[in-house]
Amino acid sequence: MSLKRRALSIPEVLVAAGLGLVLMAVALVLFRRVTSASFAGASRLQLQLSTRETLRKIVPLLKMATPPNSQQTGIYSPDLGVTAGNVVFCSPEDMLNPNPPEFNPRDATYILLQIRHDASSQKILLEDFYTPGRHTVLGHQVRDFQVAHTQRIGLRLKIVRELTVRDHLGHSKPLQYELSDSLQLPE
């Protein structure tokens, strides 16, 4: 029982090496596509979550809109039936002051606030209507923000955010997410 060992010839080694390289190239392409798809999915999820977070910051602020008297509503702008890139509302609390004084109904001071889209910085800002320098950022990377005054105490909000991601070939492509919400304000 003698087994004769035979060595591989050079063409056999070259064919095996070539097949190995082809398999590695296919595996690399698949890995890049899976990684790119995973990154795009994570970016899309992050975009959706941050858009929802921005809306969760805006809605409670608008629900605190309070009319200073029975003749007005808490929303000053946009007018009924109009859509705009900002909303001006009245509040008894200074939402821009981290330590506001306690509300005194006998000596009520109402503040006119505005939530608006700053297109140059792509931010949504909450600001003092008369002093725009007093503001806080509610959202970043916002392409569009629209407020429609649909009813006397009803608003419809729309936020559009956009993010640029790279596909598996390295090309940049925009990823966009739009979120809308309707709300009724207290009377």
Residues 154/123, Cβ–Cβ less than 8 Å: no
Residue 37 CA to residue 167 CA, distance in Å, equals 8
In terms of DSSP bridges, do strands 142-151 and 172-184 run parallel, antiparallel, or are they unpaired?
unpaired
77 in a structural domain:
yes
- Over residues 82-111, the pLDDT tens digits come to 999 999 999 888 888 777 777 677 777 788
With respect to residue 123, please indicate whether it lies within any of the assigned structural domains. Answer: yes
Q: Is residue 160 part of a domain?
A: yes
Over its C-alpha atoms, the chain yields an Rg (Å, rounded) of 29
Which residue, 62, 84, 85, is CA-closest to 75? 62
Asked if the structure places residue 46 within a domain, the reply is yes
Task: Examine residue 27 and state whether it is found in any structural domain, yes or no.
Answer: no
Strand partners, 118: 123
- Residue 30, in any domain of the structure: no
Q: Which residues in the chain show pLDDT less than 50?
A: none
Residue 19 domain-assigned (yes or no): no
Q: Which domain holds residue 86?
A: 38-184
| Structure tokens given for 119 | 């297109």
φ/ψ of 35, rounded to 5, equals -65, -45
pLDDT number for residue 32: 83
The predicted structure's pLDDT at residue 64:
87
The CA–CA distances, whole Å, from 64 to 33, 35, 113, 160 equal 47, 44, 11, 24
Within a domain: residue 8?
Answer: no
Number of domains in the chain: 1
**What's the pTM?**
0.77
